[in-house]
Structure 1
Amino acid sequence: MAVDYFTKWVEAEPLAKITKANAKQFLWKNIICHFGIPAKVITDNGTQFTGKIFTSFCEDFHIQLVHTAITHPQANGQTDVTNRTILKGLKTRLGKAGGQWVEELPNVLWAYRTTSRTPTGETPFNLYFGTEAVIPVDIGVPSNRVQTFDFNNNEEKLMTNLDLLPEARDEASLRFAAYHQRIARHYNQRIKP
């Protein structure tokens, strides 16, 4: 699993075993080929991330590889929180799917990507693509979005959304910083001097 720190976009792939080669392949196929080369990758200290295959791969692409301290796994808290959210979504859907979690993973990822995240106030989908996804509830329902859709003006609206994307990301960044300040303030109030 990989999570973009700012947008909260998540990529995940079901694997029977996480090997060094699998980790390298996941980074290549799911991250670099879709989104470009990341500046930094934060991982735990699993051997699949500390071994020569993965570290050399990151060095070849000038990716800064940061391993969280064994004594402080909370340093990669974003991934832990996202893991819990994805697992909760899978458990909820497994009752309906009869235990076929591999088939349900794309559905859970879609739900996660199209749900507004508290830190940014935006959906990961919107922060990546500059527009909200058309979700199943929008199809066949007389919603404002569906009723006002005009095929002839669609390209113009998409271009406007893309022009506004940097501003939307700036606003999300401000909400993100304010969210972290609230969390820190709450945490600091609980700690006794």
Structure 2
Amino acid sequence: MSDPEKFKEFFKNFPVPEDLPTLSTDIKNKILQIGKKNPRIKLNFKNIKFYWLDPTDNRLGTTIFSDDLNELTRKRILNLPLGKTVIKLHPILLDDEKLYNHTMVHELLHAFGLIEHSKEHSELTNKVAPAPSLSESNVLRYLQAVMISSTGILSWNCDFCGHVWTRNTVKKPRYCPKCRSLFR
């Protein structure tokens, strides 16, 4: 089973709220400030609609433009508004305000013209709404647990010292945490 299929199984019964996602005044004001300083960002909140993603979707958020990539590029070159845009957020984000805000800002920056995942996009997203750390985010810890439990590998054994390391990361450690020998 592929990773997207695993996530679909875990999220298929997640409830979709009746109320649509909303943008907080604080986040909106911060984005307006950034838009004044950055001419590449075309602020137009009235062309954006917010919806929830299907709970079986494996993304936290997505931005959907009414135009194709060629038309978007033309509009950016000619300094025109990007047109109608839909931002969809995963309903699981309601359980985590910091991750909700971070994902919302990430998608809004796409909608306002920073389409590529660039260093600038990442820096602006983190400036307006920093991503929560794993320890701060119940959703990220839940997603990590889903990933770990769906792989079938729940621990690693060191061939040198016999230490059994209970898995708590997605990526296999390079060295044994006890004797520092290379894991194979």
TM tier relative to shorter chain: under 0.3
User: TM-score, normalising length from structure 1?
Assistant: 0.23
Greater share of residues in helix: 1
User: TM-score, normalising length from structure 2?
Assistant: 0.23
Question: Which protein is bigger by CA-based radius of gyration?
Answer: 2
Greater share of residues in strand: 2
